[in-house]
């Protein structure tokens, strides 16, 4: 099993525990820390990062050519896009639908899916996979797992903050992978000078070098 798969499985377990926290159920219908997202919708979107893995594994190997992970992030249109784009509206409504049965049902499904993945993901071939919303490309399974690891780490923080819980502790190696991907996206969006200053010179740092 590759390191990123092992890290992903551990963080998926963390997400399942967070989703089962009583604070999440108590705040279910309140706004989350993300604009236009309820706690329910955010929880459903977080859960989707676990459900996506068995979904792509169940699909035939795509015909579209595989591209590297960083090229994938350079091609997607949603980075930095307006909240009211059809894509972002679909993300929010999809999260609400995913969580429509309530917090207990959602956390139970995530825990069961994470357990299932422990028996499937370690030995799965590193073949190309693809989501139907993408353009004419695919990425390797390990790169897809990396992208879902990023989503899990970011949205666990979002959900915990939304309901007044501390952000879960993640393995250092998992955070390093996520920060590496985010820093490369930030470099592409903001340029080398702004990112260097943000990391080294607070007196000359730009207001934001947000990757997403």
Band of the pLDDT at 49, cuts 50, 70, 90?
very high
Phi and psi, residue 38, nearest 5°? -80, 165
3-state secondary structure (DSSP) of residue 38: strand
The residue written with tokens 């780490």 in the block is: 153
Can you list the domains of the chain with their CATH numbers?
Answer: 3-170 (1.20.120.450)
Q: Select from 95, 91, 69, 73 the least CA-distant residue to 82.
A: 91
- How much is the pLDDT for 3? 97
- How much is the pLDDT for 164? 98
Are residues 130 and 70 in contact, defined by beta-carbon separation less than 8 angstroms? no
The residue written with tokens 């990112």 in the block is: 195
Residue that wins the pLDDT comparison between 17 and 87: 17
pLDDT in tens, 190-212: 999 999 999 999 999 999 999 99
Q: Select from 96, 119, 108 the least CA-distant residue to 15.
A: 108
In eight-state DSSP terms, residue 29 is T
Are residues 181 and 150 in contact, defined by beta-carbon separation less than 8 angstroms? yes
pLDDT at 82 over 90: no
pLDDT in tens, 155-199: 999 999 999 999 999 999 999 999 999 999 999 999 999 999 999
Q: pTM for the whole thing?
A: 0.95
Please tell me the distance from the alpha carbon of residue 52 to that of residue 39, in angstroms, as a whole number.
20
pLDDT at 79 over 90: no
């Amino acid at each position: 099993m590759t390191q990123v798969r092992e890290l992903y499985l551990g963080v998926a377990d963390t997400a399942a525990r967070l989703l089962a926290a009583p604070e999440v159920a108590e705040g279910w219908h309140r706004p989350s820390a993300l604009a236009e997202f309820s706690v329910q919708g955010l929880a459903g979107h977080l859960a989707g990062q676990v459900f996506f893995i068995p979904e792509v594994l169940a699909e035939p190997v795509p015909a579209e050519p595989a591209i590297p992970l960083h090229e994938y992030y350079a091609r997607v249109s949603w980075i930095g896009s307006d909240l009211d784009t059809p894509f972002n509206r679909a993300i929010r409504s999809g999260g609400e639908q995913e969580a429509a049965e309530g917090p207990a049902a959602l956390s139970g499904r995530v825990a069961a899916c994470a357990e299932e993945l422990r028996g499937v993901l370690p030995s799965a071939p590193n073949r190309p996979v693809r989501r139907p919303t993408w353009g004419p490309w695919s990425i390797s399974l390990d790169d897809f797992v990396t992208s879902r690891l990023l989503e899990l780490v970011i949205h666990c923080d979002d959900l915990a903050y939304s309901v007044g819980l501390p952000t879960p502790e993640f393995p250092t190696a998992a955070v390093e992978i996520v920060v590496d991907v985010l820093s490369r996206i930030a470099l592409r969006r903001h340029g080398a000078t702004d990112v260097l200053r943000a990391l080294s010179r607070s007196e000359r740092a730009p207001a934001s070098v947000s990757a997403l």
